[in-house]
Amino acid sequence: DAEITQSPRHKITETGRQVTLACHQTWNHNNMFWYRQDLGHGLRLIHYSYGVHDTNKGEVSDGYSVSRSNTEDLPLTLESAASSQTSVYFCASSATSTGAYGYTFGSGTRLTVV
């Protein structure tokens, strides 16, 4: 069965370190998204991609970067982790450039920056 997997599920890192969160999907979806979810804010868009070599900034992109070298993967990198980036991170994908069929989410990565 097709799936979208995130790794690791939990990560503790120190302030200032570079961290990369993985997202891998086997749906063959062109569109992939990264969100963070915090109490009181809901899901906020960090970066998104409509295909290989395409990346775009979302609402809260400062301090984060992504790259898309193939269809399956969209890794999210925190260049220099800050305590404000402690959050739960979700990757999502969709088949179309619109959400006409909804979005498929991974199970999330809980990141703690100490």
Partner 1 sequence: SQKIEQNSEALNIQEGKTATLTCNYTNYSPAYLQWYRQDPGRGPVFLLLIRENEKEKRKERLKVTFDTTLKQSLFHITASQPADSATYLCALESEGSYIPTFGRGTSLIVHP
Between residues 85 and 89, which has the closer beta carbon with respect to partner 1?
89
CA torsion through residues 99, 100, 102, 103, sign: negative
The CA distances from residue 12 to 16, 18, 21, 44, 93, in Å, are 12, 12, 12, 21, 25
**Contact window for partner 1 (CB under 8 A) among 11-19, 21-29, 70-78, 97-105:** 97-105
CA torsion through residues 14, 20, 26, 32, sign: positive
Between residues 49 and 85, which has the closer beta carbon with respect to partner 1?
49
Considering the rule CB under 8 A, would residue 58 count as an interface residue with partner 1?
A: yes
Per DSSP, helices labelled H in the chain are: none
The only residue of 46, 85, 90, 113 in contact with partner 1, by rule CB under 8 A: 90
The only residue of 21, 46, 81, 92 in contact with partner 1, by rule CB under 8 A: 92
Considering the rule CB under 8 A, would residue 34 count as an interface residue with partner 1?
A: no
Considering the rule CB under 8 A, would residue 107 count as an interface residue with partner 1?
A: yes
Cis peptide before 8 (omega within 30 of 0): yes
Question: How far is it, in rounded angstroms, from Cα 102 to Cα 97?
Answer: 11
Between residues 77 and 104, which has the closer beta carbon with respect to partner 1?
104
The binding site for partner 1 (CB under 8 A) comprises: 33, 35, 40-43, 45, 48, 58, 90, 92, 97-108
